[in-house]
Amino acid sequence: MRDQRLPPSSPGFWRSPVRGPWFTSVLGVVLLVGITVLFVTGLLSYAAYNPDLSPVNDKTPDKGILGFYLFAWPTGPYWLYRLTQGVHVTLGITIVPVLLAKLWSVVPKLFALPPVRSLAHGLERISLLLLVGGALFEFVTGVLNVQLDYVFPGSFYPLHFYGAWVFFAAFVVHVLLRAPAAVRNLRRMRSGKGPEGEAGGEPDFPLVSPRPAAPTVSRRGSLWLVGGGSLALFVTTVGQSFDGPLRRTALLAPHGFADPGSGPGGFQINKTAAYRGISARERSDEVWRLAVTGPSGTVRLSRAELLDLPLHSSALPIACVEGWSTSDQWWRGVRLRDLAALVGYEADAAPDVLVESLQRHGAFRSAALRANQVRDERSLLALDVNGEPLTPDHGHPARIIVPAAPGVLNTKWVARMTFGDL
């Protein structure tokens, strides 16, 4: 719906009758709330990754002042990361149509001439560049990471983190400049006065086409269209936070939602033992020994010897940074604090631990846990799940499970644990 005889810098070129302050304002207010929630839950995810445990978990060593807020991630409530990261990923996917509609609604302004009319106008346009670029960058990197199975494994972490700060800074400037007009517009519409005139609302480029084409859908109708798109994304994504039949509704969720089978090990698997190159031999009772190291030396334990230690159960979920999670599973194994006690610590004074896997290649070979995670009585080196020995894909012979932690810290096929001195 364009008038090709006019240049795009002319308001008459843009003819959709849907564009206007009301449409832009409604979408803007939805994004104001949604993006703020995305930013906060995103920052929480970085804290949950234990960034101060350099160098194992900290992939943003140059985070500098941007990391000022990082804090020791708690172990409770035990479903904390399941909630924050489920919201982050599901909401991020759900508001993509709103973002695209918002960008479409203001695209004529991109072509306004002259491009810069004053210093203030120039600064605003630079902030818009960072805003639009930042939004596209954050959504594209986020969706790619979730969908394509960590396309940039190590580098996603700093990219998405630095991008978020640039984007959010531009977002705050934009909201400060624009929110008053958006709210005024919505108030006026509600009281039946119609949007502000061009003079008040849209000084640099009219959103309302001066020569609108005949409408094919009302403004309200187009909002329903955007909302419908969001709803469709939501219902095909949200199932990834649940087990059972609901998970099969997560059509848009990434890899690995092939049926994990039934029985005790029948819940979501991220990377299989075969994919990670873990052989049956190195997992076998004859070969596998867990090495636990602390101030009093190194203890080597077979699976049978571990099963002879005091065993405890915890009902805990697995919650991945990709947004999917399982419901609570019954894990049984040795408390991490008891393992610390084997090598020279008081359980209540257990320190950080470095956990290393049998895995020799690829990401997530090792992870460090903080002292508060080690000391929690629910944190286990799990040997069984749901009443049976761990399956190979769930980390047999032994795996870590910690309450409220991101899945990535729950190392599978554990070979070595080193307490203290990280």
- The 3-state DSSP class for residue 201 equals helix
Does 396 help bind ligand MTE (rule: CB under 6 A)?
A: no
Contact region for ligand MTE (CB under 6 A) — 2-10, 35-43, 190-198, 408-416? 408-416
Report the DSSP pairing between strands 366-369 and 388-389.
unpaired
Q: Which residues 287-346 are close enough to bind Mo ion by CB under 5 A?
A: 320
Q: Are 339 and 372 in contact (CB under 8 A)?
A: no
Closest distance of CB 254 from Mo ion, Å = 10
**Closer Cβ to ligand MTE, 5 or 361, answer by number:** 361
Q: What is the CA radius of gyration of the chain?
A: 26
Find the residue with minimal CB distance to ligand MTE: 407
Minimum distance of ligand MTE from residue 3's CB (angstroms): 52
355 forms beta bridges with 367, 417
Residue 332: CB minimum distance to Mo ion, A: 22
Q: Which of 172, 229, 190 is nearest to 32 (CA)?
A: 172
Phi and psi at residue 113, in whole multiples of 5°?
Answer: -120, 145
In angstroms, the first-to-last Cα distance of the chain is 62
Of the candidate residues 209, 270, 293, 418, the single one contacting ligand MTE (CB under 6 A): 270
* Binding at 359: pick from Mo ion, ligand MTE, none (beta carbon under 5-8 Å per type): ligand MTE
Binders of ligand MTE in range 316-375 (CB under 6 A): 318, 320, 357, 359, 364
Task: Say which entry of Mo ion, ligand MTE, none residue 271 contacts (CB below 5 to 8 A, set by partner kind).
Answer: ligand MTE
Q: Which two tokens stand for residue 114?
A: 């002259």
Encoded one letter per residue, x for contact with ligand MTE by CB under 6 A and - for no contact, window 35-64 reads: ------------------------------
Q: Which residues contact 90 (CB under 8 A, 6 or more apart)?
A: 234, 237, 238, 240, 241, 323
How distant, in Å, are the alpha carbons of 27, 60, 91, 339 from that of 33?
A: 10, 27, 11, 45
Q: Which two tokens stand for residue 157?
A: 């972490």
Give the nearer residue to Mo ion in terms of CB position, either 43 or 320.
Answer: 320
Selected from 185, 268, 379, 418, the binder of ligand MTE by CB under 6 A is: 268
Q: Does 276 engage in binding with ligand MTE (CB under 6 A)?
A: yes
- Contact predicate 189/195, CB 8 Å: yes
In Å, how far are 28, 174, 182, 223 from 178, measured between CA atoms?
Answer: 9, 6, 6, 20
Task: Considering the complex, state which of residue 137 and residue 150 has its C-beta at the smaller distance from ligand MTE.
Answer: 150
Q: Which is nearer to Mo ion, 206 or 406 (CB)?
A: 406
Separation between Cα atoms, residue 312 and residue 331, nearest integer Å: 8
Question: What would the two tokens of residue 16 be?
Answer: 């959709």
CB nearer to Mo ion: give 16 or 268.
268
List the one residue from 303, 370, 375, 412 that touches ligand MTE (CB under 6 A): 412
Task: Out of 108, 394, 418, 422, name the contact with ligand MTE by CB under 6 A.
Answer: 394
One residue of 391, 407, 415, 422 binding Mo ion per CB under 5 A: 407
**How many other CB atoms are there within 10 angstroms of residue 187's CB atom?**
11
By CB under 6 A, residue 222 contacts ligand MTE:
no
Query: Edge to edge, what strands does the sheet with 366-369 contain?
Result: 297-301, 290-294, 414-419, 353-357, 366-369
* Alpha-carbon dihedral angle through residues 244, 245, 247, 251, given to the nearest 10 degrees: 160
Which one of the spans 39-47, 124-132, 265-273, 287-295 is the region binding ligand MTE (CB under 6 A)? 265-273
Q: Which is nearer to Mo ion, 209 or 410 (CB)?
A: 410
Residue number of the CB atom closest to Mo ion = 320
**271 lies in the binding site for ligand MTE (CB under 6 A):** yes
> What one-letter code names the amino acid at 182?
A
- Quote the DSSP letter at residue 231: H
CB-wise, 294 or 406, nearer to Mo ion? 406
Name the site residues for Mo ion (rule: CB under 5 A): 320, 407-408
Name the site residues for ligand MTE (rule: CB under 6 A): 268-271, 276, 318, 320, 357, 359, 364, 394, 407-408, 410-413
